Structures are given as C-alpha cells and as structure tokens.
C-alpha cells in the first residue's frame, strides 16, 4: 500500500470513528428550549413533558437540563420505557402550585413510571406544603395530599444530590423498583408537619441509601412490604419519627421484608431510633435478617422499639396477635441517650414471638443513668455489654 492510500484509509477510519462518537454522544435537552420559564409562576409542565418525550425517544443517552431559576410544575408523569439512559440534571428549583389543591388530589406530584436507567442529579423540589398541613390541622376536609417524587416499576435508578422541602405527604417513594442508588439527598419538612415521611421503600430490591439527611414530621425512612436487600449507611435522622420497618401486616396476605442493613448513622431528637411496627392482626408477612449496627442516639424517645400491637383505630385487631413473624434481627454497637426512661422496647406478638434477636454492645442512658427496658415474647441472645439489661 502506498503512503497516500494509507493516509486515506486512516482518515476514513478516524472520521467514521468521530462520526459514530458524535452521534453516540449524550445530547442535551434544556427545558427552557421547550418553553419552560424560570419565573416560578408560569406553568412549565408542558415544556418538561416535551423535553421528556424527546429524551425518551433518543437512541443515545441524553441529559434533560433544568437550569437555574424556579419552575412551576403541576402533577406530571414521566413514563417509560425509554430507549436509552436519561439524566435529569437540575440546577434550579421545581415548585408546586401555591394553592395546595393543585397537587392535593393527584396522589403524586412528580411521578416516574416504568422508566429504566434514569438519574436525577441535584436540584430542589419545593411542594409548598404549608397550606396543606394547615388544612389538615384545622380538621376541615382536605384532599389526600401528594408525594413529591415517586418511582413506580423503575430499574437502575440513581438519585443524587437532590433536596426536597415542604412535601405535602412523603417526599420520595420507591415502589416496585430494582437497583436504586440514593445518595447525598436531603429531605426536609418541619417537625410538626403531619405525615411528611422522608423516604418510603416498598416492593423493591437492591436499594442503597447513603450520605443523606432526613428532617421530617413523620418517619425519616419507612420500609414497606416486599422490600429486600436494602442497604443504608451514613444517614442523619431527626427531627422525625425515625427509621421504621412497617407498618406491616395491615393485609392478611402480604410480602415479607428481608435482608435490611442500617449502619453508621445518627438519630438526633427523633421520636424513634430503629423501629419495627406491625398491626396486631393475622398476616402472612415477616421481617427477617436485619442488621442495625454502629448507631448513635441523641435524645431519642424510643431508641430501639418493636411494636407488634399497632391498632390505631382499635378496629379489626383488638386482642389479636400479629401474624408478622420477626426473626434474625441484630442490634450491635448502639449507643447514646434516650429522652424517655424506657430505651429498649420489645412488644412482640403473642402468637408469633420474635425469634433470634441479638443484642450486642448496647449502651443507652437516660438522664446520665442506665435506661430501662420492657420485653415481651422475645427469644434470642445477648453479648458484650447490654445496657439497659432485662431483655434476653
Ligand atoms: C443482602 O443485601 C445486600 C445489600 O445490602 C446484598 O449485597 C446481598 O447480596 C444480599 N444478600 C442476599 C442473600 O441476597
């Protein structure tokens, strides 16, 4: 091959390579180009949906950018399946309509359905829940309220650097999803805002939650039926109701919860630390293989609690044992202060006692002295220092 031919072949090779590279490169859809207005007043729902539809059709991975500014969104559904990975890169704030009825009846505000390979990066969601909470407190009839961001039947999800404030109901819901990473998120609502859970996970497998802060009026994290392989680390919880497995066993036929890990986390001024809560009625549900390790409790009302006698309206459950079978729960290296004298509560089911509970290096104090414990229907073992004593 002579020199010129070689150059021509090489050029052809590299230019086609470049061409392929360019067409594969992530394209970028800015919601402003689709008509969104960063003024916090103009309804940008259609523009966001337009950008989503374009992104969803793209064969190459795409970024949908939400620039600085404030964008008003009404309840919206981003539906898949889409052809490639989509990243929502959010620099600004997404706000809900100022009138709470604008979200209140929809159940969810920002909803992702059947989307695979989706990332949410950065941004703030402000559901402006205050007037909704006020309605609820007044005792008037109010709409049910909306969750701020929900993922239903989504796989390979990354939520990173997102902040959500003032949700009407739960901030973030992961429902029937697989392989989800949640990191560096911040979910905040005032202490007294009713039912503003932070994160709710259910029917999902392989969810990781790390480096995140939850300051809410209800559970920091609630873990519902059918959750498997959930890993949580480096979390800050409080104010709020703590991290709760349950309520479970509401339904007679219910999927169990298994392989749950919570490590290296701090609870500050929360109502509960780690809680397992089940209805006092028949159920096929279970909780097994749970590790709570390296936790610090600061002025927490119930640092460690299992409550299997939940029956809020005293209807359909009084005097029944919970059917939810709790076993293989390990509590290791949990230290700090309790706001009430009783720091350790195991109120397990009469008909299905808690099995294989392990307490290992627990040190919880109340007013500078050892706290107390109450244990019913519990079997297992303890090791190391366990303070308060009295269980196992
Ligand atoms: C339990 O969950 C962890 C994630 O916390 C996962 O790595 C592990 O494979 C799971 N174990 C089983 C038996 O599924």
DSSP E strands, 178-285: 178-183, 186-188, 199-202, 205-215, 221-223, 228-237, 243-248, 257-268, 272-279
Q: Is the pLDDT of residue 110 over 50?
A: yes
Q: Is 42 helix (H, G, I), strand (E, B) or coil?
A: strand
For 79-100, write each residue's pLDDT tens digit.
999 999 999 999 999 999 999 9
The pLDDT value recorded for residue 2 is 57
Contact 342, 318 (CB under 8 A): no
Q: How far are the Cα atoms of 44, 45, 64, 85 from residue 29, in angstroms, in the given order?
A: 14, 15, 5, 13
Pocket test for ligand 1, best of 205, 228, 229, 258 (most atoms within 8 A of CB): 229
What residue's CA is closest to ligand 1, atom 2? 229
CATH number at residue 171: 2.160.20.10
Residue 368 within any structural domain of the chain? yes
Residue 158 within any structural domain of the chain? yes
Half-sphere exposure for 168 (CA within 13 Å, toward CB): 30
> How confident is residue 4, by pLDDT bands cut at 50, 70 and 90?
low
Looking at the structure of the chain, the number of domains it has is 1
Contact 371, 343 (CB under 8 A): yes
Q: Which of 125, 132, 72, 68 is nearest to 99 (CA)?
A: 132
**CB of 289 sitting under 6 A from ligand 1:** no
257-268 and 286-300 strand pairing: parallel
Q: Which residues are catalytic?
A: 241
Pocket test for ligand 1, best of 223, 232, 259, 289 (most atoms within 8 A of CB): 259
Is the previous residue joined to 141 through a cis bond, with omega within 30 degrees of 0? no
Distance 270 CA to ligand 1 centre (A): 28
The pLDDT value recorded for residue 376 is 97
> How confident is residue 105, by pLDDT bands cut at 50, 70 and 90?
confident
Domain of residue 250, residue span: 110-128+142-311+321-387
Distance 182 CA to ligand 1 centre (A): 17
Contact 325, 356 (CB under 8 A): no
For 171-230, write each residue's pLDDT tens digit.
999 999 999 999 999 999 998 899 999 999 999 999 999 999 999 999 999 999 999 999
Contact 163, 186 (CB under 8 A): yes
Higher pLDDT, 317 or 42: 42
What residue's CA is closest to ligand 1, atom 3? 229
Residue ranges of alpha helices (H) inside the chain are 3-24, 45-57, 101-104, 130-138
Q: Is the pLDDT of residue 336 over 90?
A: yes
Question: What value does the mean pLDDT take over residues 16-27?
Answer: 49
Is the previous residue joined to 388 through a cis bond, with omega within 30 degrees of 0? yes
Distance 178 CA to ligand 1 centre (A): 13
Rounded to the nearest angstrom, the gap between the alpha carbon of residue 42 and the centroid of all alpha carbons in its chain is: 30
For 125-166, write each residue's pLDDT tens digit.
999 999 999 999 998 899 999 999 999 999 999 999 999 999
> How confident is residue 334, by pLDDT bands cut at 50, 70 and 90?
very high
Q: What percentage of the chain has pLDDT greater than the value 90?
A: 88
Whole-prediction pTM:
0.92
Higher pLDDT, 369 or 1: 369
For 230-275, write each residue's pLDDT tens digit.
999 999 999 999 999 999 999 999 999 999 999 999 999 999 999 9
> How confident is residue 17, by pLDDT bands cut at 50, 70 and 90?
very low
Cα gap 199→187, rounded to integer Å: 8
Half-sphere exposure for 181 (CA within 13 Å, toward CB): 12
Tell me the CA end-to-end span of the chain in Å, nearest whole number. Answer: 84
Question: What value does the mean pLDDT take over residues 307-331?
Answer: 91
Residue 199 within any structural domain of the chain? yes
Question: What value does the mean pLDDT take over residues 370-388?
Answer: 96
DSSP string, 136-159: HHHTS------EEEEEES-EEEEE
Residue 156 within any structural domain of the chain? yes
Q: How far are the Cα atoms of 255, 265, 283, 354, 357 from residue 249, in angstroms, in the given order?
A: 9, 27, 5, 15, 20
The pLDDT value recorded for residue 19 is 44
**How many helices (DSSP H) and strands (DSSP E) are in the chain?**
4, 31
**CB of 229 sitting under 6 A from ligand 1:** yes
Q: Is 363 helix (H, G, I), strand (E, B) or coil?
A: strand
- For the chain, give the mean pLDDT: 93
Cα gap 15→301, rounded to integer Å: 67
Q: Is the pLDDT of residue 10 over 70?
A: no
Q: Is the pLDDT of residue 15 over 90?
A: no
Q: What percentage of the chain has pLDDT greater than the value 70?
A: 93
The 8-class DSSP code of residue 204 comes to -
């Amino acid at each position: 091959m002579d020199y010129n031919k070689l150059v021509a072949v090489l050029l052809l090779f590299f230019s086609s390579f470049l061409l392929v590279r360019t067409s594969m490169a992530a394209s970028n859809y800015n919601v402003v180009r689709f008509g969104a207005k960063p003024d916090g007043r103009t309804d940008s729902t259609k523009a966001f949906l337009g950008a989503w539809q374009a992104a969803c059709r793209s064969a190459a991975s795409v970024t949908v950018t939400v620039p600085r500014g404030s964008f008003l969104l009404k309840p919206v559904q981003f539906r898949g399946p889409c052809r490639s990975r989509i990243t929502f890169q959010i620099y600004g704030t997404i706000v809900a309509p100022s009138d709470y009825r604008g979200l209140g009846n929809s159940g969810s505000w920002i909803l992702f359905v059947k989307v695979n390979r989706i990332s949410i990066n950065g941004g703030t969601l402000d559901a402006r829940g205050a007037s909704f909470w006020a309605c609820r407190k007044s005792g008037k009839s109010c709409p049910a309220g909306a969750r701020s961001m929900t993922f239903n039947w989504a796989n390979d999800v990354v939520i990173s650097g997102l902040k959500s404030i003032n949700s009407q109901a739960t901030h973030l819901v992961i429902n029937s999803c697989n392989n989800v990473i949640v990191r560096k998120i911040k979910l905040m609502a005032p202490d007294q805002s009713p039912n503003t859970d932070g994160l709710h996970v259910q029917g999902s497998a392989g969810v990781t939650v790390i480096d995140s802060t939850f300051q809410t009026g209800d559970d920091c994290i609630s873990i519902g039926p059918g959750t498997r392989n959930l890993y949580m680390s480096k979390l800050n919880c409080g104010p709020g109701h703590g991290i709760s497995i349950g309520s479970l066993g509401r339904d007679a036929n219910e999927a169990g919860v298994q392989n749950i890990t919570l490590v290296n986390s701090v609870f500050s001024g929360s109502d509960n630390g780690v809680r397992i809560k089940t209805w006092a009625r028949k159920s096929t549900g279970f909780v097994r293989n749970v590790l709570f390790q390296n936790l610090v409790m600061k002025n927490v009302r119930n640092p460690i609690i299992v409550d299997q006698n939940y029956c809020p309206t005293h209807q359909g459950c009084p005097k029944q044992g919970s059917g939810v079978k709790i076993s293989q729960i390990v509590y290791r290296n949990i230290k700090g202060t309790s706001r009430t004298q009783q720091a350790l509560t195991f109120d397990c089911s009469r008909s299905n006692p808690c099995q294989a509970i392990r307490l290992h290096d627990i040190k919880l104090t109340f007013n500078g002295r050892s706290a107390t414990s109450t244990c019913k229907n519990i079997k297992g073992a303890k090791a190391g220092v366990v303070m308060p004593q009295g269980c196992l």
